[in-house]
Chain A
Amino acid sequence: MLAFALRRLGQSLLVLVLMSLLVFLGVYAIGNPIDLLVNPQADDVERARATVALGLDQPILAQYVTFLKRAASGDLGRSFVYNIPAIQLILERLPATLELAFSATFLAVLVGIPLGLLAGLKPESFIGRSIMAGSILGFSLPTFWVGLVLIMVFSVQLGWLPPNGRGETVLLFGVPVSFLTRDGLAHLAMPAANLALFKLALMIRLTRAGTREAMLQDYVKFARAKGLASRRVIGVHVLKNILIPIVTVIGLELGSVIAFAIVTESIFAWPGTGKLLIDSINQLDRPVIVAYLMVIVAIFVTINFVVDVLYSLLDPRVRLGGAAATA
């Protein structure tokens, strides 16, 4: 078990280093790094000074090493627009994005798994078919359009929910969160629902497929032969089996949810890293883009690692291995 975890950790670090190399090459080697790292409005004197200060007159390899060293200590350049360290900017906005991403995932799981279970148990019934039709709609609908419609209906027509921004925040373990306040929840509702939609459809389909497959297995027949109540057969035997692959999917999709938050944040003007990224791209604030990339890659690698370890913990077959056979 420990060997497995260490191996995965090693692989994760490798991917991290690889990505840093790609980012480095993309930024420093292609095109003129001066343009990317120095404020476009700077004059020649500024540029010359910056070149030396940033070590851009050094050979590429030395630059990469410097880059890595700086990155490891958290220095990823300063934002042109805000004139504060890029990493600080990212980290300030990260809690908002994570709050959105987790809320959306939570919603998708809470609603998606029961619906998928229902659809899997009664696939030919009206409700089963409706759920499936709904799920097709769910992942056909372009996220941003749904967001628009939500704003149209709930903000403009009904006036129930605010159309943009984040609500009141309180500190939870030193991190500002908004779901603990009423105002915060009102602001969180639509963006979270919007972001959750796609994942919801995915959860429904996955759970349905898993349930249908599980119901055909022999252990279900055996459980019923024991005279167990349906509730137990489904709630314990089937659920535990399908949850294992579903949990891994949830984990892996978390990264994708964080990425998709970019769109939701743009629509609802949610002050997270996604909106920051779009603004930075439009304003050519490149250090922020680099910082964002590095942080995102680090998050992804961490998620993948955690999911791998989690999976091996959940599935007793992987955790305990095939033990010695004793007849």
Chain B
Amino acid sequence: MSSLADREPAAPVVEPAPAVQSPWRRFAADFAESRLALFGLALLVSLLMVAILAPVISPQNPYDLAQLDVMDSKLPPGEHSSTTNKPYWLGTDDQGRDMLSGIFYGLRISLAVGIASTACALAIGLLLGLAAAYFGGWLDTLVMRLADIQLSFPAILIALILLAVLGQGIDKIIIALVTVQWAYYARTVRSAALVERQKEYIEAARGLGLSRARIVVRHLLPNCLPPLIVVATVQVAHAIALEATLSFLGLGLPITEPSLGLLIANGFQYLLSGKYWISFYPGLALLLTIVAINLVADQLRDVLNPRLRR
């Protein structure tokens, strides 16, 4: 009896090679699977456009005192200006500023601060995290202990104290936000890098005699990016919310550059007398921004999660 192993299978199966799709297109296709995420993305892009184009599309420059008319203060939405007869779509605040314009400019500042602080925190966290993972030893322990201690305290508390010590100003807010956020990135990068470091392709790279720096930048880094992108996106929303909260409490940006938080704070005192629009609409804008970012971030997390890869 001939052994089964000697015999070739009866009908060899030949499959056509699958069409090669660029990873970007696959990513876009995966992302687009969620309609909610697409909606979030569309919303986000619109808000970004509004923020960038604020000076162009605002009916009024709310910081140009010459354009303000105190007689128009506290008008409800839909009322018209007593002088120019232009409509105030969302009403005016106590200084006669057009709410819509205020929101556009406020959105600009909120987004700018949020994105800038996230970018800085990302850079710092990335550096420290990679260094900690690659060099290990005392550097690793130091960085991680620091991150742990910081993360065990609520962000708002740390930010409050920092601002109490540093004072007001857009740079101080960014410092506070960066301080609060860097630890997330450092920790994420470090775990991802540690996992990658064990993998074979790093061994191979070292075997080839590549310099440490090159290994870190060209090899470790690209593989740590997916979780980092997810964290960064969510953190932008957190940063924006935190800045708004701090401004609302009176500790954030100075009154000359009001972000959405400050606008909301401004209108708070008029809430009880029924002039809700001064606080409500900036709040709505803030809400939409954060929701949009969270929707996008959620889908990004699902798409970039290697464990869910089909």
Which residues of A are in contact with B by a Cβ distance under 8 Å?
Answer: 15, 18, 26, 30, 133, 136-137, 139-145, 148-149, 151-152, 155-156, 163, 255-256, 259-260, 262-263, 266-267, 277-278, 281-282, 289, 293, 296, 300, 304
> Can you sample 18 A-B contacts with CB below 8 Å?
A26-B165, A136-B295, A137-B291, A140-B294, A141-B287, A141-B290, A149-B280, A152-B271, A155-B272, A156-B276, A259-B153, A259-B156, A260-B154, A260-B156, A277-B160, A281-B160, A293-B161, A300-B152
A140 to B234, CA, bound (A): 10
Whether B105 is near chain A, meaning CB under 8 Å from some CB there, is no
Additional A-B contact list (20), CB under 8 Å, known A255-B152, A262-B156, A281-B164: A15-B149, A140-B291, A142-B287, A142-B290, A144-B248, A144-B264, A145-B279, A145-B286, A148-B283, A149-B283, A151-B271, A151-B272, A156-B271, A255-B154, A262-B160, A263-B156, A263-B249, A278-B250, A293-B161, A296-B157
Residue numbers in B under 8 Å from A26 (CB-CB): 165
Establish whether residues A144 and B245, one from each chain, have CB atoms under 8 Å apart when the complex forms.
yes
Establish whether residues A148 and B287, one from each chain, have CB atoms under 8 Å apart when the complex forms.
no
Residue numbers in B under 8 Å from A300 (CB-CB): 152-153
Contacts A145-B264, A256-B154 given; indicate if A140 touches B272 (C-beta within 8 A): no
A262 to B274, CA, bound (A): 25
Residue numbers in A under 8 Å from B244 (CB-CB): 142, 144
Interface size on B, residues (CB 8 A): 35
Establish whether residues B164 and A289, one from each chain, have CB atoms under 8 Å apart when the complex forms.
yes
Whether B89 is near chain A, meaning CB under 8 Å from some CB there, is no
Residue numbers in A under 8 Å from B290 (CB-CB): 140-142
A137 to B280, CA, bound (A): 17
A2 → chain B, closest Cβ, in Å? 24
Closest 6 CB pairs of A and B: A259-B154, A145-B283, A256-B154, A140-B290, A140-B291, A259-B157
**Which residue of the partner chain, among A140, A143, A256, contacts B245 with CB atoms under 8 Å?**
A143
Interface residues of B in 37-89 (CB under 8 A from A): none
Establish whether residues B295 and A156, one from each chain, have CB atoms under 8 Å apart when the complex forms.
no
**Which residue of the partner chain, among A155, A277, A282, contacts B250 with CB atoms under 8 Å?**
A282
Residue numbers in B under 8 Å from A136 (CB-CB): 291, 294-295, 298
Residue numbers in A under 8 Å from B164 (CB-CB): 281, 289
Whether B241 is near chain A, meaning CB under 8 Å from some CB there, is yes
**Which residue of the partner chain, among B241, B280, B295, contacts A148 with CB atoms under 8 Å?**
B280
Establish whether residues A263 and B165, one from each chain, have CB atoms under 8 Å apart when the complex forms.
no
Whether B237 is near chain A, meaning CB under 8 Å from some CB there, is yes
A103 to B276, CA, bound (A): 28
